[in-house]
């Protein structure tokens, strides 16, 4: 796995052992082609960051800052190594439960222009759909002012496109093999 483009393009990234499912290069390329100029100057939040590839790709392409959050200590160590290797500035790594961290960030009145969430996939009926849980969270919604974009990665299923939750506009939904990418944009007059 490597960074695709920008100031650190081509630099290979380390991947945490056994705790993550890295987003494939071709899927990341498609996501960044979709987002285009939204990345430059953005304040980025990368949830379930794993190797940090999405947040680091944003910094490589000119984002102002990136907060990378993962619960796993080993993943956070890998992100820090990848930061050192790429020499990208503007990144903060935070280890902790994503939902607790989202609550803390909401209490801090943090806001982001671009949010990525690539949680563990729900494979079986009854397993929690963490993307849906995030979108239902008032704390998560508070982090995304009007115009902010959220990119969710989940397991592709045969079901038809999902309606966008209240307060969100579906910009694009596309499957890449077993991976579904959903791009939502926050609508409304501001926070909450």
Q: What is the DSSP string of 14-76?
A: ---SSS--PPPHHHHHHHHHHHGGGSTT-EEEEES-TT-HHHHHHHHTT-SEEEEEES-HHHH
Q: What is the pLDDT of residue 117?
A: 94
Residues 78-101 have a mean pLDDT of: 96
pTM: 0.90
What is the per-residue pLDDT across 40-67, written as a single tens digit (0 to 9) for each?
999 999 999 999 999 999 999 999 999 9
CATH fold of the domain at 25-186: Rossmann fold (3.40.50)
């Amino acid at each position: 796995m490597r960074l695709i483009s920008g100031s650190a393009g081509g630099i290979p990234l380390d991947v945490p052992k056994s705790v993550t499912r890295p987003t494939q290069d071709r899927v990341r390329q498609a996501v960044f082609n979709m987002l285009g100029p939204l990345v430059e100057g953005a304040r980025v939040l990368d949830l379930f960051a794993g190797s940090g590839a999405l947040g680091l790709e944003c910094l490589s392409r000119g984002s102002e800052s990136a907060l990378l959050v993962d619960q796993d200590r080993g993943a956070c160590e890998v992100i820090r190594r990848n930061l050192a290797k790429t020499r990208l500035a503007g990144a903060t790594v935070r280890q902790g439960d994503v939902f607790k961290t989202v609550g803390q960030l909401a209490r801090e009145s943090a806001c982001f222009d671009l949010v990525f969430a690539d949680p563990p996939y729900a494979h079986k009926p009854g397993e929690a759909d963490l993307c849906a849980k995030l979108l239902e969270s008032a704390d998560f919604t508070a982090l995304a002012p009007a115009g902010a974009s959220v990119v969710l990665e989940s397991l592709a299923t045969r079901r038809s496109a999902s309606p966008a939750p209240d307060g969100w506009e579906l910009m694009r939904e596309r499957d890449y093999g077993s991976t579904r990418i959903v791009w939502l944009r926050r609508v409304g007059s501001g926070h909450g």
